[in-house]
């Protein structure tokens, strides 16, 4: 176990609302005070809004599990991300969200992971071939290419080409770095008719991503009509009717859903995988243990059932999701007045859940800043795993692809570490946009193992 050398910059004391907004647009972490790693609850007051960051486990449970309909997704999120995600399941609420989940969830249930596993394996083998003999590699680009390939193969039964991978990675990178998680106009709760000024680069990136996805959806519609569509995730979702209403997704609504699949299944997975490789490079002892666990596996023919043997690899990936949760903050809205601790949370206030702060909370976790995959076997680790660990959210709105993401992360981590030894070239600095990324990428040295 090793203490990490860097933490994100925290907001200096005495910064006013305009200064906070400026810092927020640069990086979410930079706008947050360091005391949030100890606070059970923190209130932010401005002339425009009230927000409450909640770290106390029973209050997190209330919001996510016990009464989720009383804490719907904040309209700030929809206002911010609609140009990319439209009305996808990530941003909707109420009956619309329930209908979408009734169509989407069956595609990810039970044995579906077994069906998707060969595509994950094929994408991993293709990545190993691309990496060749290693050298100094910027891993965020490589993991983005790899996880985009997984999504292309599992959703649309096709590998991603190098040119398309580059476009997807760059478009997502441009979108993230020009579009903070919360739109300031929405944050200030300005009326809907007030123009939402977005950078041209952000709009262009969102348009490029959606145009790519729309082409894939329209082509699949034609294949379904002709009876030639492969039986993959896209076909399952596009042909599935809501069992209660008979409703099916139209082309544009399917583009919305595919956009969130890409964001959740490509962008977040790439973030987690690149940080996992950094952590292994940081702690060579842990890397050696993981390499020993995977040394005897035949990666050309590895099966889904073999993942159950990779207990330490799974612990490493879980610990990565604790220290570097891909989605650093979740925003809900109080649908009615609430009492939380000694505060009255008024109807309409924002309730913020921060996996980043919750997972490193100094009053919950033992040695919260240490990279220790073995913590999951301790009493504290098991308790916090139940009460203070939400990398995929929790409750009814838990990520549909949580099982998919865990299987993908464990498999790809095993494949990469079996082939290469990883060393740090330059210490990365974590920053938060839509997902947790490194300020200047994650540069590692890859050396082939014997």
Name the pLDDT band for 79 (thresholds 50, 70, 90): confident
Q: What is the mean pLDDT of residues 26-53?
A: 78
What Cα–Cα distance (Å) separates residue 439 from each residue in 107, 360, 369, 431? 35, 20, 20, 6
Confidence of residue 362 (pLDDT cuts 50, 70, 90): very high
Residue 184 has pLDDT above 80, yes or no: no
User: Helix, strand or coil for residue 46?
Assistant: coil
pLDDT score, position 5 = 47
- Place 186 in a pLDDT band, splitting at 50, 70 and 90: very low
Find, among 386, 265, 251, 262, the residue nearest to 318 by Cα: 386
Sequence-distant (6+) residues with CB within 8 A of 63 are 54, 71, 332, 351, 353
What residues form DSSP beta bridges with 447?
Answer: 421
Q: How many CB atoms lie within 10 A of CB 253?
A: 19
CA dist 293 and 312 (Å) reads 7
Answer whether 32's CB lies under 8 Å from 22's CB: no
Question: Other C-beta atoms within 10 Å of 21: how many?
Answer: 18
Q: Quick one: how many helices (H) and strands (E) in the chain?
A: 17, 13
Answer with the residue of higher pLDDT: 377 or 200: 377
- For residue 254, is pLDDT > 70? yes
> What was the pLDDT predicted at 108?
80
> What is the per-residue pLDDT for 4?
61
Where helices occur in 324-365 by DSSP H, the ranges are 355-358
The gap between the terminal CA atoms of the chain, to the nearest Å, is 26
Confidence of residue 6 (pLDDT cuts 50, 70, 90): very low
Residue 8 phi, psi (nearest 5): -60, 155
Beta strand 50-54 with 350-353 is: parallel
Phi, psi of 343 (to 5 degrees): -115, 145
Using a cut of 0.75, tell me whether the model's pTM lies above it.
Answer: yes
255-270 average pLDDT score: 87
Helices 251-262 and 75-85: angle between axes, nearest 10 degrees:
100
Name the CATH architecture for the domain at 2-448: Orthogonal Bundle (1.10)
420 pLDDT above the threshold of 50:
yes
Mean pLDDT of 297-313: 96
Which residue would you say has higher pLDDT here, 208 or 164? 208
What was the pLDDT predicted at 281?
Answer: 97
The predicted-structure confidence for 100-112, as pLDDT tens digits, reads as follows 999 998 888 766 7
Question: Looking at the predicted structure, is the pLDDT value of residue 156 above 50?
Answer: yes
Share of the chain above pLDDT 90, in %: 60
pLDDT band at 449 (very low <50, low <70, confident <90, very high): very high
Looking at per-residue pLDDT, the higher value among 105 and 288 belongs to 288
What pLDDT shows up at residue 31?
Answer: 61
> Helix (H, G, I), strand (E, B), or coil: what is residue 422?
strand
Q: What average pLDDT does the segment 89-101 reach?
A: 92
How much is the pLDDT for 287? 97
Distance CA 293, CA 423 (A): 19
Kindly state the helix (H) or strand (E) to which residue 275 belongs, with its residue range: helix 268-282
- Whether the CB-CB separation of 433 and 181 falls below 8 Å is answered with yes
pLDDT range class, residue 318, cuts 50, 70, 90? very high
> What are the structural domain ranges in the chain?
2-448
Residue 219 has pLDDT above 70, yes or no: yes
Q: Output the pLDDT for position 185.
A: 43
As a whole number, mean pLDDT of residues 297-318 equals: 97
Residue 11 confidence (pLDDT)? 46
Q: What is the mean pLDDT of the chain?
A: 86
Residue 190 predicted with pLDDT over 50: no
pLDDT digits (tens, 9 = 90+) for 225-246: 999 999 998 999 999 999 999 9
Cα–Cα distance measured from residue 182 to residue 81, given in angstroms and rounded to the nearest whole number: 8
């Amino acid at each position: 176990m090793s203490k990490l050398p860097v933490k994100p910059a925290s907001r200096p004391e005495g910064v006013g609302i305009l200064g906070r907004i400026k810092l927020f647009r640069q990086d979410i972490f930079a706008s947050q005070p360091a005391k949030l790693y100890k606070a059970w609850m923190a209130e932010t007051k401005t002339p425009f809004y009230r927000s409450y960051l909640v770290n106390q486990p029973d209050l997190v449970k209330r919001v996510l599990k016990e009464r989720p309909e009383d804490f719907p997704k904040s309209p700030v999120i929809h206002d911010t991300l609609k140009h990319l995600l439209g009305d996808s399941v990530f941003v909707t609420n109420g009956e619309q969200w329930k209908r979408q989940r009734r169509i989407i969830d069956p595609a990810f249930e039970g044995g579906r992971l077994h069906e998707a596993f060969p595509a994950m394996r094929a994408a991993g083998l293709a990545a190993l071939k691309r990496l060749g003999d290693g050298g100094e590699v910027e891993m965020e680009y490589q993991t983005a290419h790899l996880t985009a390939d997984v999504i292309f193969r599992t959703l649309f039964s096709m590998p991603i080409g190098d040119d398309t991978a580059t476009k997807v990675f760059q478009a997502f990178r441009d979108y993230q770095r020009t579009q903070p998680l919360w739109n300031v106009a929405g944050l200030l709760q300005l009326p809907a008719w007030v123009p939402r000024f977005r950078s041209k680069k952000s709009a262009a990136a969102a348009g490029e991503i959606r145009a790519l996805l729309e082409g894939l959806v329209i082509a699949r519609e034609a294949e379904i009509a002709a009876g030639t569509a492969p039986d993959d995730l896209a076909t399952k979702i596009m042909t599935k009717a809501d069992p209660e209403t008979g409703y099916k997704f139209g082309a544009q609504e399917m583009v919305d859903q595919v956009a969130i699949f890409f964001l959740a299944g490509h962008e977040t997975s790439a973030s987690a995988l690149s940080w996992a490789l950094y952590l292994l490079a940081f702690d060579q002892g842990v890397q050696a243990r993981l390499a020993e666990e995977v040394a005897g596996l035949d990666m050309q023919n590895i099966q889904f059932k073999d993942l159950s043997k990779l207990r330490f690899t799974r612990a490493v990936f879980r610990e990565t999701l604790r220290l570097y949760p891909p989605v650093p903050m979740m925003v809900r809205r109080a649908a009615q007045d609430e009492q939380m601790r000694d505060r009255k949370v008024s109807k309409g206030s924002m309730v913020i859940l921060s996996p980043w702060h919750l997972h490193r909370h100094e009053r919950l976790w033992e040695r919260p800043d240490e990279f220790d995959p073995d913590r999951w076997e301790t009493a504290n680790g098991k308790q916090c795993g139940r009460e203070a660990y939400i990398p995929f959210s929790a409750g009814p709105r838990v990520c549909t692809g949580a099982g998919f993401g865990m299987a993908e992360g464990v498999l790809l981590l095993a494949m990469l570490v079996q082939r290469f030894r990883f060393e740090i070239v330059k210490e990365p600095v974590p920053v938060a946009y839509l997902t947790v990324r490194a300020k200047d990428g994650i540069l590692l040295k890859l050396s082939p193992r014997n």
